[in-house]
Amino acid sequence: MKARRLIRMASEDIGLSNPMAVTQAVSAYQATQLIGMPECDCILAQVVVMLAESPKSVRTYKGYKRAKALVNSLPSYPVPIHLRNAPTKMMNELGYGAEYKYEPDYAHPIYQEFVPPEVVDRGTRQGSSNDMDTISYPFLVPRSIRIDQHSSSCSDHQRTKDDDDYQNKTGSSHQDYNKSSLQTVTSQPTQSVTIDGQLVDLDLLRQWEVKVNHGQPWIGRNRLQQQ
């Protein structure tokens, strides 16, 4: 029973601040089953100390509660048509999945909705990425951001230089970037181009910057535009 509660604690109280905590707790549970008491006492103690010293985050727990409450408070809306599978000719003709954007095909983050339009403004974007005890949408950092942050080797000095370059090219600073109107962006759609085998669509990138990144330019925008 104690080992089971440790697994729950690893997810509910620690969560995304230390994702490996769940793995460690599950391993302790399995080890306890293998060797039993009293030999497993050190294993349990080790996991207890690890959980106690781990940074805490209830972002997942609160986010799940909010999402569940939201779903229970709304009607059952249909799945957006661009997210629907099209296994039949009729579904294909109806446009199922036609407007879906597959993010790994792009060299940058892109924006698209994954919830019905009736739900978009009903609290799915509460909080911010820096607020660890609240939920932000998307729930996890997009794949494209993780890849860029992992592969980017630019220093703080280089980022400052990029900021200056951006301001010189656009006439606006990053702080002024969020003043751009999304309506202006979408009224002049751009066409996707291919660079090094990946799609580039600056219109989709701009929408992501405005709606998801709080109006801040994507970290790899300057590098992308220089290609």
In the chain, domain spans: 2-57, 60-226
User: Per residue of the chain (227 residues), what is the pLDDT tens digit?
Assistant: 788 999 999 999 999 999 999 999 999 999 999 999 899 999 999 999 999 999 999 999 999 999 899 889 989 899 999 999 999 999 999 999 999 999 999 999 999 988 888 887 765 554 444 444 433 444 444 444 444 444 443 444 444 454 455 455 444 444 444 444 333 333 344 567 887 888 999 899 999 999 888 899 999 888 887 77
List Cα–Cα distances, 110 to 39, 128, 141, 180, 192, in angstroms: 52, 18, 13, 17, 12
Angle of helix 20-35 relative to helix 2-9, nearest 10 degrees, comes to: 170
- Which of 3.10.200.10, 3.30.300.350, 1.10.1740.110, 1.20.272.10 is the CATH number of 2-57? 1.20.272.10
Tell me what pLDDT residue 206 has: 92
Its pTM stands at: 0.57
Sequence length of the chain is 227
pLDDT attached to residue 119: 82
pLDDT of 168 reads 53
Residue 193 pLDDT: 82
In sequence order, which residues have a C-beta less than 8 Å from that of residue 35 and are 6 or more positions away?
Answer: 43
The predicted pLDDT at position 191 comes to: 66
Q: Give the Å distances, CA to CA, from 28 to 7, 24, 89, 108, 126.
A: 9, 6, 51, 40, 35
- Amino acid identity of residue 67, one-letter, is A
- What gap in Å lies between CA 17 and CA 59, rounded to an integer? 9
